[in-house]
Amino acid sequence: MTTETTATLALDEDTALAQIAATLRALPDAGLEDAEIGRETLFHDDLELESIDLVSLAGLLREHYGERVNLALFIADLELDEIIALTVGRLADYVAASLRATEES
């Protein structure tokens, strides 16, 4: 992988992270307007999101990215301990990978 390719992938993940953070801050009733959200931010422990918030997030991600990003399918493939330990960075990686996969197909 060339440096240019690596930089492009990192930009995609960084962009996905920024968009997810903005989406999280916009979730109604989540109280995250001023939250610091980074790659290591945990959905469960740090953001204290309820399942309804994750449903809202899934809907907003689908609106933004279309069918290419399906949070429900992503979470369905995780074990319970992985869901509890889910970070915003891991979701950003999934979003970036999903978008790359649809561009490559």
Q: Which residues contact 44 (CB under 8 A, 6 or more apart)?
A: 83, 84, 85, 86
Scored b (16 or more CB within 10 A) or e, 36-74 reads: ebeeebbbeebbebeeebbebbbebbeeebeeebbbeeb
CA pair distance 14, 88, nearest whole angstrom: 11
pLDDT-derived band at 12 (thresholds 50, 70, 90) equals: confident
Asked if residue 3 is part of any domain, the answer here is no
Asked if residue 34 is part of any domain, the answer here is yes
Percent of the chain with pLDDT over 90: 74
Question: Domain holding 97: CATH number?
Answer: 1.10.1200
Asked if residue 76 is part of any domain, the answer here is yes
Give mean pLDDT, residues 58-78. Answer: 93
Residue 10, token pair as written in the block: 């990192």
Q: Is the pLDDT of residue 104 over 80?
A: no
Asked if residue 88 is part of any domain, the answer here is yes
Number of domains forming the structure of the chain: 1
Residues comprising the chain, all counted: 105
pLDDT-derived band at 4 (thresholds 50, 70, 90) equals: very low
Which tens digits make up the pLDDT trace of 31-57? 999 999 999 999 999 999 988 999 999
Question: Domain residues for 79?
Answer: 14-59+70-104
Asked if residue 97 is part of any domain, the answer here is yes
